[in-house]
Amino acid sequence: MCIRDRTTGLLRRLNRDELEGVLAHELSHVAHRDVTVMTVASFTAILAGFMVRSAMWGSMMRGRRDQNTALVFIGVMVVSVIVYFFSYLLINALSRYRELGADRGAALLTGKPSALASALTFAFAPAVAGKRGFTLEQWFSTHPPLEKRLAQLASIARDLGQR
């Protein structure tokens, strides 16, 4: 499916207010410089992994090739995997936070949090049906659970005096 088909389908399915909410959400990502934030966060994780690997190769080149070298190599690889794994989880947590920030920005920008909630319900309801609580899958997700996003939008609507 090409971009044009997706865009046409989106335009057919969403009403004007819902489309405005979706576009405001995306523009909120731009205004909050989310790409820069995520790039810097990812760069830090990559840099940490690079430093661990550099230390590993540096110690192997200087050291003797014996049993201790093999243990150091295995130890450094384990540390590298652990650092990468936790970095991955933290980057995904940051991404989920940035999505909630974009939802909030869109709701405040348009003044219609219910329109974005409606668009989200339309877009994600089949994909998350039946999921409750915080599952292992959600630890690896880049987007917060739909229920959390809808609750935040409902809270913003109440703060704005809407139902």
State the amino acid at position 158 in one-letter form. R
DSSP 14: S
Residue in 115, 110, 111, 106 with CA at minimum distance from that of residue 25? 106
Q: 18, 20, 26, 137: which is the annotated catalytic residue?
A: 26
Secondary structure class of 113 (helix, strand, coil): helix
For this structure, is 26 an active site residue? yes
DSSP letter string, 48-108 = HHHHHHHHHHHHHHHS-SSHHHHHHHHHHHHHHHHHHHHHHHHHHHHHHHHHHHHHHHHHH
Residues 144, 100 contacting (CB under 8 angstroms): yes
Catalogue the active-site residues: 26
